[in-house]
Structure 1
Amino acid sequence: MPSEHDPERRQFYRIEDRVGLECRQLQGEPTGPPETLFEGGETLPLAEELRRHDAEIRHQLGLLSESDRVLSQLARALNEKLDTVARIMTFQQNPLQDSEWVHVTLSEGGLSFITADSTPELDSLMAVRLTLMPELSQVAAYARVVSVDATDNGNRLHLQFHNMEDAERQQIARHVLRLQARERQQARQRREQRGDTP
């Protein structure tokens, strides 16, 4: 179903992916961060504090790399290891059900997916939380329903992110780039196995 939002959706590169997807339909305008609408949202202040510490660590690592490259690389690896452990612990505390892992079309601008649940009204707002694999990183955002298409398996919802924080948008952008790189590498390996030339 064409809509006035189509040109805006097309300006972002879209990928096909399987993500953990949690949705909450809203009544009226949102009044707080989207994270607070999902299980574990009560730890939002701690998450914000962790982000501040992470930003400071990354800044100091940049300064350290100018004087001691080896030590900087070690500290960076330790920081990434702690970050990975934290994501694993968060996921284990709130594991998603099988039904919450869905195939989506994802971009920095929004996402679309097929659902058999009750369909929200056009132009209504939803809160969504994505769990991205394999990093197990989570992105919570508000999204507006811009179109609904009927399919044989249910309705395909097209959501456009609404007033999304730049940090969350960049997180999705990095995920898209990583997935693109993996797909290119896999395609190259398949060509090499067949003996094809690029």
Structure 2
Amino acid sequence: MTTPDARERREYYRITDRIALQISPADGVPGETAPLFALLSELHQLEFESRHLLRNLDERDRAVTACLRLVHKRLDLLGQAFTWNLLHDSGATRDVVLSEGGLAFVDAEPYALGTRLDLRMALPPQGLGLQVLAEVTGCQAVSGGYEIGTSFIDLEDAQRQLLARHVLRQQARVRRADRGEEA
């Protein structure tokens, strides 16, 4: 028999975050991506794919690795600038609960269970932009609208890793803030 604690356990760690979120109904495939959003997503995918190459290079040539790390840092700064533009274009940010497995948010409109949504997320401050397909798993009336729970569908491994890294960074930032350290 399953205990209440076992039912409440989650597969992924969840955080409360403030992100830019664009929501649109999906017909099973992600919609057309805005050029700036696509560029930002591609930057992060390439960074993820090149990590193991950089680790291997570090063992052979530390000077080249140091130079590539500086170039990477410059690209991160450009990504952050793109994110701020994307945040401006996306409108107001909103509070969400985010994990590698899904997203919960409050919206003015209810969504039927099983509805597929195309979600575009801009996650500051790292400049992470993701477009994912999600399915509505919960919809409950709350003050100010409806609390919508979603589960990501067919998330690529690179996207899951980027989300995991964002969640861990935000968790560490909150812990530092709780201890009174600078973030």
Q: What TM-score, normalized to structure 1? A: 0.75
Percentage identity across paired residues of the two chains: 33
Structure 2: gaps spanning 5 or more residues:
1-6
Distance 2:176 2:19 in 1: 21
Amino acid at match of 1:113: F
CA spacing shift, 1:94–1:105, aligned 2, 3 Å:
closer
Q: Secondary structure at the match of 2:164?
A: helix
Q: TM-score, normalised by structure 2?
A: 0.80
In structure 2, the partner of 1:55 is: 49
Query: Aligned equivalents of 1:97 and 1:78: distance in 2?
Result: 28
Q: Is the 8 A contact 1:29 1:125 kept in 2?
A: yes
The 8 Å contact of residues 25 and 120 in structure 1, kept in 2 or not, is answered as no
Q: Who is 1:173 aligned against?
A: 164
Residue 88 of structure 1: how far off its partner (Å): 1.7
Q: 2-side partners of 1:127 and 1:168: how far apart?
A: 15
Structure 1 gaps of 5+ residues are 1-6, 191-198
- Superposition RMSD in Å: 3.0
Give, as a single letter, the amino acid of the residue that structure 1 aligns with 2:24: R
Of the two, which has the highest radius of gyration? 1
Deviation at 1:161, TM superposition (A): 0.4
SS at match of 1:10: coil
1:120 to 103, 111, 123: 111
CA contact (8 A) 1:20 1:96 kept: no
Rate the CA distance shift 1:139–1:76 in 2: closer, same or farther, 3 A: same
Matched with 1:25 is 25
> How many angstroms apart in 2 are the aligned matches of 1:108 and 1:169?
6
Secondary structure at the residue paired with 2:17? Answer: strand
Structure 1 position 129 matched with structure 2 position 120? yes
Aligned residues: 176
Structure 1 equivalent of residue 15 of structure 2: 15
